[in-house]
Amino acid sequence: MKKLINDPADVVTEALSGIAAAHPDLRVDLDHKIVYRADAPVQGKVGLLSGGGSGHEPLHGGFVGPGMLDAACAGEVFTSPVPDQMLEATRGIDGGAGVLHIVKNYTGDVMNFEMAAELAAADTGVEVVSVVTNDDVAVQDSLYTAGRRGVGVTVLVEKLAGAAADEGRDLAGVAAVARRVNEAGRSMGVALTSCTVPAAGRPTFDLPEDEMEIGIGIHGEPGRRRVPLAPAREVAEMLVEPILADRDFTGDGGALLFVNGMGGTPLLELYVMYREVSRILAKAGVSVARSLVGPYITSLEMAGCSVTLLQLDDELLRLWDAPVRTPGMRWGA
Amino acid sequence: MAAPDQFAAIDAAAIERWIRAFAAAVAENEQELTRLDSPIGDADHGANMNRGLKAVVAKLDGGSTGGPGALLKQTGMTLVSTVGGASGPLYGTFFLRMATAIGDADTVDQKLFAAALRAGVDGVVARGKAEAGDKTMYDALAPAVDALDAAFGGEDTAGALQAAADAAAQGRDSTTPMQARKGRASYLGERSVGHQDPGATSAALLLQTAADTLA
C-alpha cells in the first residue's frame, strides 16, 4: 500500500481538518465528523443532510454549500457514519423548516440513518424526511439482494434538491424533487483496478491486468461480471446498454449525461468515454441537454468510471442551472 | 435434592467478563474477520467491530456501575455510536434489546438469560430484516438461541451455554455454501457462494465467549 497518509486510523479526521483549513465557507465539527456550511442553520430553509463512508470524495463533504447540502456526515472509509453524527447534524442545520436526509441504498447507511431519524423524532422537534437513492442498474433483482445501490444519481439529487430548497420549497416539496430525480436516473459502473482501504492495507479484490469488472459498486464490492479488458467504445456499450434497457431517456427535456471517474482515472480517459457514450446515445435517440464529467463520487484510487443518465424536464433543467457554491461543484454563484 | 441443571445466576461481573472476552476475541480475529469480508463485502468488518469494542472496553475501564442490564445497554449504545456500517446498528440493537429484557434485575437466571438472548436476536431481525438462510449473523444466532432453549432445564450452566456456542459455530459454517441475500454480499449473487459470512463469524465468537465466561 502506497498512500499519502500518516496513520490509517487518522485518515478521516485529518482529511476533515484539511477541508476546514482549505474552505473558509465551511465549518467542520471534528468530534462528530460533520462538515457544515459556515452559515448553517439557514433560517426558514429546508436543511439537506447526507453522509456515508469516506473514500468517495468530493461526495459528500465537498458538496456542502449554498445550492446543495447544509451538512454532511463522514463515516470511516467505506463505513457508514453513526446515528449520533446524523442526529447532531440534523439539529445543527434545522432552520425551522425540517431536514431532508439523502441516503444511499446500502444496508449500513440505511440502518444508521433510520436510527437517526427515530432518535430525531423522539429527542428533538425536528421534522425529518428520508429519501433513499438506488440508481445502480448493475443490481438486477431486488428480491434477492439488498436492492439497487445508490451511486451517481446521489450527486444529482443533492444538487437538484439543494436548488429546490434554495427556492424556498417546503420539506415535502424538496423531498418530492429528490424522489423524482432518483426515479428519473440510472447508473452503471466499471472498475479496471481494485482500491485499497487504508485500514485493510491490501487491495479489496484482485483484478488481473487484462480484466475488468462490469457493474462495480463504489466500495470495491465486485460487480456483475468480470470480462477481458476492452476498448473504450465497447466498455461504453456495456455500461449504456443496461441503462437504456431499464428506462426510456428520449423525453422532450433531454438527458443529463454524467461520466464519473472512480478516483484513479484521468480526465483524458473520462472524455474518451464521454465521446463514446454520447455517440451511443445519439444513435438511440437520446439528446443530451446537460453534461457533467469528472470525479464526483469516487472509490479511493480505483481506476474506472460510471455513467449516469438523468431524464430532464423544464423544472429539473432550471434547478440544475441554478447557482451552486461548494468545493466540489460550483457555478453561477 | 438439588437439581443437576442448576444455572449459576449471571451477575454484572459475569456480563462484564463476557463483554471483555468478546472484545478480546474480536481484536484477536480482526484480520480474519476482515479477510472474510474482502471477497464478499468491503473488507471492514474486523476493523469496525474492533473499533467499537475498544470504545466499549474503554468505558468499562472507566469504572462500570449498574447491573447486567445497565452494562448491556451501555455496550449497545457505545456500539451504535462507534461502529457504523451495518454491524453497528445490528450488534447495538442486539445488546440494547437484551438489556431491555433483563431490566433492573441484579442477577439473571437461565430462563431470563435465554429470553434476553432471544430478545436480542429478535432485535437483529427487526433491524436487519434478515431471514434464516440469508447468509448473515442471524444464521449463527438463530440456532444458538434454539439450542439454549432446548438445553434449558436439561444441562448445567456450562453445558447449556456450550451447546449454544456449538450451534452458533455450526450456523457460522452453514453460511459458506449459502448465496447472500442481504448486505453488500448480496450484490455478488452466486459468487457469494463458497465464502463464510463474516457477520456469522463474529456472532459465533459472541456465543463462544459467553460459554467461556458466563458459566
* Domain spans in chain B, listed from the N-terminal domain onward: 12-212
* CATH assignment at residue A90: 3.40.50.10440
User: Among A23, A60, A101, A219, which one carries the catalytic annotation?
Assistant: A219
Alpha-carbon distance of A191 to B103, in angstroms, equals 50
Q: What is the pLDDT of residue A200?
A: 82
pLDDT level of residue B153 (50, 70, 90 thresholds)? confident
Asked whether residue A331 is assigned to any structural domain, the reply reads no
**Total structural domains in chain A?**
2
B1 — pLDDT class (breaks 50, 70, 90)? very low
Q: Which amino acid is at A86?
A: M
- Same domain (yes/no): A56, A161: yes
Sheet of A47-54: strand order equals A26-29, A34-37, A71-77, A47-54, A99-104, A128-133
Preferred mutation among A10, A31, A34, A78 to probe B, highest tally of B CBs within 10 A = A78
State residue A31's pLDDT score: 97
Question: Is residue A32 flagged as an active site residue?
Answer: no
List pLDDT tens digits, range B64-95. Answer: 779 999 999 999 999 999 999 999 999 999 99
Question: Pick from B23, B30, B110: which is nearest to B71 by CA?
Answer: B23
CA-nearest residue to A220 within chain B is B42
Last residue of a domain, one of A128, A151, A184: A184
Q: Which spans in B64-197 are helix H? A: 68-82, 87-102, 110-128, 138-151, 157-174
Q: Are residues A265 and A278 in the same domain?
A: yes
- Asked whether residue A223 carries a pLDDT value surpassing 60, the answer given is yes
CA-to-CA separations, A38 to A10, A25, A34, A42, B89, in angstroms, rounded: 24, 5, 12, 10, 30
In whole angstroms, give the CA distance from residue A63 to residue A108: 21
Chain A with chain B: Cβ pairs closer than 8 A: 107
d(CA B101, CA A193): 48
| Residue in A with minimal Cα distance to B190 | A224
- Bridge partners of A49, per DSSP, are A71, A101
DSSP B38-92: HHHS-S-HHHHHHHHHHHHHHHHHT---S-HHHHHHHHHHHHHHHT-TTHHHHHH
Domain end: A184, A216, A242, which one? Answer: A184
Q: If residue A17 lies in a helix (H) or strand (E), which one and from where to where?
A: helix A11-22
Domain that holds residue A140: 9-184
Interval A147-175: pLDDT, tens: 899 999 999 999 999 999 999 999 999 99
Residue A163, all three cell numbers: 436548488
Residue A66: inside a domain, yes or no? yes
Share of chain A residues as helix, strand and coil, in percent rounded to the nearest 5: 35, 25, 40
Q: Residue A87 and residue B55: Cα distance in Å, rounded?
A: 20
The pLDDT-based confidence of B40 (bands split at 50, 70, 90) is: confident
- Are A45 and A142 members of one domain? yes
Active site residue A23: no
Q: Could you tell me if A126 and A15 lie in one domain? A: yes
Residues A51 and A150 in one domain: yes
Residue B184: pLDDT band with limits 50, 70, 90 = confident
Residue B202 predicted with pLDDT over 80: yes
Question: Does A23 fall in a domain?
Answer: yes
Q: Give which of A221, A224, A299, A300 to mutate to test B binding, by max B Cβ within 10 Å.
A: A221
Q: Are A176 and A196 in a shared domain?
A: no
- Alpha-carbon distance values, A240 to A147, A186, A227 (Å): 20, 10, 16
Quote the CA–CA distance of B40 and B17 in Å, as a whole number. 32
Please state, in angstroms and rounded to a whole number, the distance separating the CA atoms of residues B120 and B95: 6
**pLDDT, chain A, mean:** 95
* Model confidence pLDDT, tens digit, residues A242-269: 999 999 999 999 999 999 999 999 999 9
Average of pLDDT values for B139-156? Answer: 90
Phi, psi torsion values for A8, nearest 5 degrees = -50, -30
Question: Is the same domain home to A318 and A175?
Answer: no
Nearest-Cα distance to chain A for B134, in Å, is 9
The pLDDT assigned to B138 comes to 97
Q: What is the pLDDT of residues A27-37, one digit of tens each?
A: 999 999 999 99
Check residue A142 and give its pLDDT: 59
The complex's ipTM works out to 0.88
Which top CATH class is B12-212?
A: mainly alpha
CATH number of the domain residue A249 falls in = 3.30.1180.20
Query: Would you state the pLDDT for residue B3?
Result: 44
Domain end (from A151, A184, A217)? A184
Residue B84 CB contacts under 8 Å (≥ 6 apart), including other chains: A53, A75, A76, A79, A80, A81, A82, A108, A112, B48
Query: Quick one: what percent of chain B has pLDDT higher than 70?
Result: 96
Per the domain annotation, does A328 fall within a domain? no
Give the pLDDT of residue B215: 85
Give CA–CA dist B53/B69, Å, rounded: 17
Pairing of strands A255-261, A304-311: antiparallel
Tell me whether A53 touches chain B (CB under 8 Å).
yes
pLDDT digits (tens, 9 = 90+) for A275-295: 999 999 999 999 999 999 999
Asked whether residue A191 falls in the same domain as residue A156, the answer is: no
Let me know whether A105 and A180 are in one domain. yes
Nearest chain B residue (CA) to A203: B38
